[in-house]
Amino acid sequence: MNYDILLSFALATSALAISPGPDNIYVLVQSITNGKSYGLATVCGLIAGCIVHATLLAFGVSAIIKANESLFFGIKVLGALYLLFLAYKVYKSDAQLDLDADTVPKKSLKGLFVQGFFMNVLNPKVTIFFLAFFPGFLFSDTMSTVWQFYILGGVFMLVSFMIFSTIALLAGQIKTYTLKHKNSGLVLKWLQIVVFIGIAIFILI
């Protein structure tokens, strides 16, 4: 078992979770609008949805690996190209963080959990991202690939939960900071670009 690869995966996941995206921005806005507990309910729903994607990935890609190693290599190359495409999309996007809370509807804690869950499960971009991100971090030549994908999924969920929960708990301070520091969105934008490119290079080499 290569623990360095697992550590690299955890660090990459941390950088991705910190970088502004639709999920953590939604958590932040919910916390600002309705309170920390509502932000945490959203986090729990989003993270629970990852179980579905990890399961689909574990059994689907594991079957492909058993059938054809060359095809699996092709998946990793396409995954790296997809991550480079995401980096390009972030580069072309606006660096301004939109924390407008006026358009967020009020929901119950259960409602936010359910919404977060289905936001994640029904988003095909999450499935594609998992397919692009996870295969490059298989860390053992002897362990079942199904178990490896589940372990990677568990690490992804744990790290994302910790960072998203921190965002929910510190929502007020984060909003105040971003309003005072107008260039914070630009810094986070370039962090996201560097992370996507870095992961793509890691997968390719």
- Write down the mean pLDDT value for the chain: 86
- Cβ-contact 168, 27 below 8 angstroms: yes
Each domain of the chain, given as residue ranges in start order, spans 3-97+108-204
Instruction: State the pLDDT confidence band at 101, using cuts at 50, 70 and 90.
Output: low
Both tokens assigned to 149: 């994908």
Comparing 14-28, 35-49, 91-105, 154-168, the range with the smallest average pLDDT is 91-105
- Residue 190, classified by CB atoms within 10 Å of its CB into exposed (0-12), middle (13-18) or buried (19+), is middle
Instruction: State the pLDDT confidence band at 95, using cuts at 50, 70 and 90.
Output: low
| 183 membership: H or E segment, kind and range | none
Q: What is the rounded distance in angstroms from the CA atom of residue 13 to the CA atom of residue 16?
A: 5
Residue 145: which of 203, 51, 83, 60 has the closest Cα? 60
* pLDDT of amino acid 185: 74
3-state per-residue secondary structure call for 95-109: CCCCCCCCCCCCCCH
High-pLDDT (> 70) share of the chain, % = 94
Residue 131: which of 48, 87, 74, 90 has the closest Cα? 74
Please tell me whether residue 108 adopts helix, strand or coil conformation: coil
* Helices 184-204 and 171-180, axial angle in degrees (round to 10): 110
Average pLDDT over residues 142-154: 93
> What confidence tens digit (pLDDT) does each residue in 154-176 have?
999 999 999 999 999 998 888 78
- Cβ-contact 28, 174 below 8 angstroms: yes
Instruction: State the pLDDT confidence band at 105, using cuts at 50, 70 and 90.
Output: low
Average pLDDT over residues 66-70: 78
* pLDDT of amino acid 163: 95
Comparing 62-66, 111-115, 146-150, the range with the smallest average pLDDT is 62-66
* Helices 171-180 and 22-34, axial angle in degrees (round to 10): 110
High-pLDDT (> 90) share of the chain, % = 33
- Residue type, position 56, single letter: L
* pLDDT of amino acid 99: 61
* pLDDT of amino acid 172: 82
* pLDDT of amino acid 154: 96
Task: List alpha helices for the chain, DSSP H.
Answer: 3-18, 22-34, 36-67, 69-92, 109-121, 124-133, 145-169, 171-180, 184-204
Average pLDDT over residues 38-55: 93
